[in-house]
Amino acid sequence: MKKTLTTRLTALALVTVLTSSFAGSIAFAETPTATSAVKAKSDLQLAIDNGAIEGYGDSDYRGVNAATRAEVVTMINRAAKLKNAELGSVTFTDLANWQKQAVANAVAAKLISGFADGTFHPNASVTRQELAELIVKTVTGGQLPKVNENVLNYFKDSSAIAKDSRPYVAYAVISGIFAPTLDGNFNPTAEVTREEVAKALKPILFKVVDILSTNDIHGKIEVGFDKKRNQNQGGIETLGGIVNDFRAINPKGTVVVDGGDAWQGTLISNTTNGQSVMDTMAQVQYDAAAIGNHEFDFGRDVLIENIKKAKFPILGANIIDDKTGKRVDWTQPYVIVEKDGLKIGIVGFATPQTTSTTKSTNIKGLSFVNPAPLAKELSEELRAKGVDIIMVTSHLPGEQNQKSQEIISELADLANGTGNGTLDAIVGGHSHLRVSGIVNGIPVVEAQSWLYAVGHIQLFVDKNTKKVVSSNASLLETYTNLTTADAKVHQTVEDYKAKIATKSNEVEVVVAEPLTRKSFRFAANGQIERDGASQLGNSITDAMRASEKSDVAFTNIGGVRADLDKGDLTYGKMFEVFPFGNYNVTGTMTAEQLKKALEVTDKYSKLPAIQFSGLKVEWDATKPDGQKYSKITLVDGTPVYVDGKLNTSRTFKVTTNDFMATGSGDGFTVFGEVKDWKDGAVMLDAWVDYAKALKAAGKTMSLQDDGRDVRLDLKK
């Protein structure tokens, strides 16, 4: 039951690109990030080093100057080493001697032509759409590219792109030749600078490896909907379309990986132990996936069986068997794939947080060790096997400061904990955040969750040394109008949907107003997340308490996975809120233990965020940890902690979930002190019964603030 931080989800601020060279790489994103603090050669310098660009005789390469037709043709001629054509074949009347050979070569290669009056206009500036044509024709040998033009829907001014230029621009956008602009326009007729031409030359000068990544799919393989943009989004058929688009332009160099937590979380997945997700991932042709903490949720035996059945490697290099002290034998640490003549080693890591974010009985006897030392060790092993590029796909979480763009957490720890040359790319997961950038010279990405973004790392590789000379990291949007859904994947999803339709569409109750995971309290920016009791938390814990006839019920906010809209509440929707299959457990706790449970602060919000029923509490967030609560009573007024005194005259019958009862779930160690836990109803079943009882009584599910949770330092 991972703690998904939706408040700090750089999410839905659409992040773009952070590059180790000079500019951003790919479309579909809006807000460009800052450049990396790690110094690397600019695209201009790379073009200079490879003989594609020369100065003006004074060591000034004038990168910010508008590039002319003659200059661009000359740069392409040098980069692509075009075959020399007969000078007499070109009769343009306005060419200088130094321009004639390059122009003749470009004309012979069918990259460019002159004008009807017999001139070339060598000093005219080159527009963005013209540069796209020149570069793409060079890459494709003058052929019209077969490419999905839907990607152009990203741009507000898509209609301004010339009809004949559209396939070339689409190809250039997918391949990262152009960085998206802040205003969401392509600006097809804008002049390009010499620096921009240098960036565009990279697919000619180097081999390109496009790494596409997903993480935390959580069984969400159906297309979703973005209410803010009023657009369909996500779905594994959409991912399949994006992958197809990349393979159309880079068939030999596209790598697809997943960062874990792929199959736990939806009815369409859980009813088949993740088979629907694995089948569709196989159709997309993933190269590898990491093991996430929720891969253990169906039990270790199911995980092992899924690894055996999977048509792509599922990796876990840092999962150690405590008895032997060695890596477990049911998964492999890495896989080697060959792309465009390059050997690529893909290492998989689980997060060390698995020990506290997964039910302990499912991982008993296992350790999840620090991946950095293993990365160094396995890197040496892979290099010895002739591997050219080493990347990691992992469930290591990342966080990124929206202002400074600094990346922290385990994702950054791995990059900083390995020396230069150890790793060439890192993919993360677990935190459900949008992360893209360069850490210690290594491009890193994490692509939110639910297929609502796709990570994209580009590696530019020297054709002779086979070493990475430049890289960038970005996020791709998954709005369905930006690609064409993969038809085969779509059909597989529809087939699985049909199997669960009857149960999924069963209406249990009507929801009178939207119910969320946010508290009833308001701050300047709206309702607060992970701040005490929430609407959904109240409903769920009330159901738990009613089911087990207990005094108090607790559950963790991280286990509540979705909000509810107003209207019919179906079983399928309730399942999305409660996908983990956890069950109630009931035991005896003291007043002191109840207070300890309430005082635990959330990892992300730094506020108490446990969900509860049966209590009324008052607390102050400005007080030190362990001293925030000033009053705790049962709903009937029975004191638990009042006026600084604990009720020592009685104990309390308490229900929680089996995950928290272990004492290792989400930091609630106090539940591990209880010795008389007894199993009860499955949590989802208890909540469904609660909803059905409301419906039978002619009531809706409508939750107002009942005063159970009073924060003294913050007014509503």
DSSP 713: T
Residue closest to 660 by CA, chosen among 577, 562, 559, 533: 559
DSSP-derived pairing of the beta strands 552-555 and 652-657: parallel
- Domain with residue 629: its CATH number is 3.90.780.10
Of 174, 199, 224, the residue at which a domain comes to its end is 199
Residue 584 lies in a domain: yes
Q: If the chain, 716 residues long, is cut into consecutive pieces of 10 residues, what is the mean pLDDT of each piece? A: 31 30 35 42 94 80 94 97 92 93 96 94 97 97 94 96 97 90 90 96 98 96 92 98 98 98 91 96 98 94 97 98 97 98 98 89 95 97 98 97 94 92 96 96 97 98 97 96 98 96 92 88 74 92 96 95 92 89 92 97 91 96 94 97 94 95 89 92 91 94 88 77
Whether 557 and 685 share a structural domain = yes
Q: CA 345 to CA 548: how far, in whole Å? A: 51
At how many degrees (to 10) do helices 275-284 and 487-504 cross? 170
Residue type, 600: V
Residue 10 — φ and ψ, nearest 5°?
A: -50, 5
Whether 519 and 659 share a structural domain = yes
Are the beta carbons of 50 and 197 closer than 8 angstroms?
no
Six-digit token string for 448: 């939110």
> Residue 664 has what pLDDT?
83
Number of CB atoms found within 10 A of residue 487's CB: 11
Of 175, 199, 223, the residue at which a domain comes to its end is 199
Q: CA 611 to CA 541: how far, in whole Å? A: 7
> Residue 524 has what pLDDT?
61
Q: CA 454 to CA 242: how far, in whole Å? A: 9
Q: CA 73 to CA 120: how far, in whole Å? A: 11
Whether 493 and 431 share a structural domain = yes
Six-digit token string for 519: 């508290």
Residue 35 lies in a domain: no
Are the beta carbons of 608 and 628 closer than 8 angstroms?
yes
Residue 96 lies in a domain: yes
Q: CA 265 to CA 547: how far, in whole Å? A: 23
> Residue 25 has what pLDDT?
33
How many domains does the chain contain in total?
3
Residue 181 lies in a domain: yes
Residue 38 lies in a domain: no
> Residue 89 has what pLDDT?
85
Dihedral angle over CA of 311, 316, 317, 322, nearest 10: -130
Number of CB atoms found within 10 A of residue 248's CB: 16
Whether 356 and 465 share a structural domain = yes
Question: How much helix, strand and coil, in percent to the nearest 5, is found in the chain?
Answer: 30, 25, 45
Q: CA 67 to CA 126: how far, in whole Å? A: 6
For the entire predicted model, the pTM comes to: 0.82
At how many degrees (to 10) do helices 236-249 and 487-504 cross? 170
Q: CA 671 to CA 476: how far, in whole Å? A: 42
> Residue 39 has what pLDDT?
60
Whether 424 and 539 share a structural domain = no
Q: CA 683 to CA 704: how far, in whole Å? A: 22
Residue type, 626: G
Three-state SS string over 145-180 comes to CCCCHHHHHHCCCHHHCCHHHHHHHHHHHHCCCCCC
DSSP 557: G
Whether 519 and 474 share a structural domain = no
- Domain with residue 325: its CATH number is 3.60.21.10
Whether 554 and 407 share a structural domain = no
Q: CA 85 to CA 234: how far, in whole Å? A: 49
What DSSP assignment string belongs to 28-64? S--B--PPPSS----HHHHHHHTTS----SSS---TT
> Residue 68 has what pLDDT?
97
Q: CA 371 to CA 353: how far, in whole Å? A: 12
Residue 84 lies in a domain: yes
Residue 589 lies in domain: 506-715
H helical segments located in 235-299: 236-249, 267-270, 275-284
Residue 21 lies in a domain: no
Whether 343 and 435 share a structural domain = yes
Residue closest to 155 by CA, chosen among 241, 239, 29, 246: 29
Residue type, 599: E
Residue 476 — φ and ψ, nearest 5°?
A: -105, 140
> Residue 60 has what pLDDT?
81
User: Which helix or strand (DSSP H or E) is residue 469 part of?
Assistant: strand 468-476
Q: CA 22 to CA 476: how far, in whole Å? A: 19
Whether 264 and 186 share a structural domain = no
Residue 352 lies in a domain: yes
Of 162, 184, 199, the residue at which a domain comes to its end is 199
Whether 171 and 214 share a structural domain = no
Whether 187 and 211 share a structural domain = no
> Residue 3 has what pLDDT?
34
Q: CA 325 to CA 121: how far, in whole Å? A: 71
> Residue 8 has what pLDDT?
28
**Tell me: the pLDDT tens digits for 30-67?**
333 333 334 689 999 999 999 999 887 567 888 999 99
> Residue 181 has what pLDDT?
75
Whether 226 and 148 share a structural domain = no
DSSP 131: H
Q: CA 608 to CA 468: how far, in whole Å? A: 46
